[in-house]
């Protein structure tokens, strides 16, 4: 390929370029219909390497969207027969809790506070705080006709989920409890915790 200075000399004022020199001049530049290979573009690969991989970013977004810190929770079989939903999510400094728990048959969790679970993960500066949960319930099939009422309270503190159920009478039973709640982590406390570590 002919260099620029040679081309300029061929076409300087007063010069009489040959047909072959015109051809060299035309072939020295990229035509709009030409295909340029990637290796001809300076620093293209370095630019690609510096950018985030789309698949990795998409996977990270999906992970953050679906990450459930409650997947590994273990509930006491003495109280909980089946966990329909066990979900703990964190977005920024907001933590949400959602548990749908079937009560174990003959569970002795009435009229006394019990620990349903004791492996709540560490999601920040939560160990000293009591996080109350809203509680709803479904009575056992034979309780529906009696319209029994229950007082269900629950909270998370440290790595444990506590619950207390006060039935109207000693022989009343629940089929399922639904516990939900949300909490805002004190980011200043969390920063102080990280500095100590």
- 94-112 in b/e burial notation, b at 16+ Cβ within 10 A? ebebbbbbbbbeebebbee
d(CA 132, CA 155): 4
Q: Which two tokens stand for residue 118?
A: 């004791």
Per-residue pLDDT of the chain (197 residues; tens, 9 = 90+): 788 888 888 888 888 888 888 888 888 887 778 887 777 778 877 777 777 777 777 776 666 665 788 888 999 999 999 888 999 988 778 889 999 999 988 888 888 889 999 998 877 666 668 899 999 988 877 665 555 678 899 999 988 999 998 875 666 778 899 999 998 877 554 445 444 44
Residue 197: predicted pLDDT:
46
pTM of the complete model = 0.59
Query: What residue spans define the domains of the chain?
Result: 4-51, 80-196
In residues, how long is the chain?
197
Q: What is the pLDDT of residue 170?
A: 62
């Amino acid at each position: 390929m002919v260099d620029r200075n040679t081309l300029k000399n061929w076409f300087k004022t007063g010069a009489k370029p040959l047909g072959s020199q015109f051809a060299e001049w035309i072939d020295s530049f990229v035509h709009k219909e030409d295909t340029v290979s990637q290796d001809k573009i300076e620093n293209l690969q370095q630019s690609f390497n510096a950018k985030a991989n789309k698949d990795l970013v998409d996977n990270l977004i999906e992970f953050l969207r679906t990450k459930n810190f409650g997947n590994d929770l273990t509930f006491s079989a003495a109280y909980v027969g089946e966990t329909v939903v066990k979900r703990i999510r964190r977005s920024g400094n907001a933590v949400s809790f959602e548990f749908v728990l079937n009560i174990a048959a003959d569970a002795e969790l009435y009229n006394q506070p019990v620990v349903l679970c004791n492996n709540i993960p560490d999601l920040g500066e939560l160990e000293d705080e009591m996080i109350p949960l809203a509680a709803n319930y479904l009575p056992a099939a034979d309780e529906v006709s009696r319209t029994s009422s229950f007082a269900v309270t629950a909270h998370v503190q440290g790595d444990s989920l506590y619950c207390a159920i006060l039935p109207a009478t000693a022989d009343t039973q629940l089929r399922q409890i639904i516990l939900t709640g949300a909490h805002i982590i004190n980011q200043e406390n969390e920063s102080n915790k990280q500095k100590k570590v």
